[in-house]
Amino acid sequence: MNLVKNFRLKENLSEYIKVRLMMKKKIVDLTHSLHGEIPTWSGGCGWREEIKVDYPKGLRVQTYRCHAGIGTHIDAPSHFFEGAANVGEIALEKLIVEICVIDAKEEADGDWLLQLEHLERYEQNFGLIPEGSFVALDTGWARFWDEPLRYRNPDQEGKMHFPGFSAEAADFLVKRKVVGIGIDTLSPDGSNVGFPVHEKILGAGMYIVENLANLSRLPAKGAFVILFPQKVMHGTESSIRAAALI
């Protein structure tokens, strides 16, 4: 409030309005909590907590052990390409950007992929996807997060089935020069273990965010997203705290 009081309203009306709007923004957490029972690519929990010192001695000290790509996390270009940017090298300007949300909850099933026609329909309804924005696909799959087996959805041979992006959709978004893409599943490639979407997006110097939460609480366009990973110098992946401002 002190910031607002310091403005001279007549001389700084536009700045005053901007500050008031920022103060009224709604914050949506897009991050799943980390614990030992969450879904992972391999099926193992991937997360360990150990208490080294506990409260009777005055404080609690813990150690965490986990895979780098666990929970709501980011894939840097170096995840697939040697010599490409690591997690710690992604510019902050690319991690605080406008978010475009594509709603596919009504049609996405275990083998559904976002096609070029879906992106074209989105742009017909909401305008062009802006250069420098982040595109998230809301498949509704986050509703299975607390059911790891259902979230992974393996068949009898162990192959997982969940929604994702098509290679053509990835090509389209590369042309739109977005900073990255995100999804509420384990991978934007869906059940395609050839990983063409990873290859195209990371190969273009963009990033990927997996296992997002609460995308259905965001508008199709106009919100901003904050995606903060750990600043790991040589990290190819990192858990993140993701949030949106509406």
Cβ–Cβ under 8 Å, residues 222 and 97: no
pLDDT at position 223 is: 96
- pLDDT above 90 (res 1): no
The answer to whether residue 224 is domain-embedded is: yes
Is 2 a domain residue?
no
Q: Give the sign of the dihedral formed by CA 111, CA 117, CA 123, CA 125.
A: negative
The overall longest dimension of the chain from CA atoms, in Å, is: 69
Domain count of the fold of the chain: 1
Give the model confidence (pLDDT) of 104-128 as tens digits: 999 999 999 999 999 999 999 999 9
Indicate the pTM of the whole model.
0.89
- 88 Cβ partners below 8 Å, 6+ apart? 230, 231, 232, 233, 234, 235
Give domain status of residue 32, yes or no: no
Is residue 112 situated within a structural domain?
yes
Residue-range definition of the domain harbouring residue 142: 47-245
- The confidence score (pLDDT) of residue 199 equals 98
Residue 142 lies in a domain: yes
Q: Residue 143 is part of a domain; what is its CATH number?
A: 3.50.30.50
Rounded Cα distance, 132 and 159, in Å: 34
Q: What is the pLDDT of residue 211?
A: 98
**130 part of a folded domain:** yes
Q: What is the pLDDT of residues 62-86, one digit of tens each?
A: 999 999 999 999 999 999 999 999 9
- Is 62 a domain residue? yes
Question: Looking at residue 16, what is its pLDDT?
Answer: 59
pLDDT of res. 78: 98
What does the alpha-carbon distance between residue 148 and residue 141 come to, in Å, rounded to a whole number? 11
Q: Is residue 14 domain-resident?
A: no
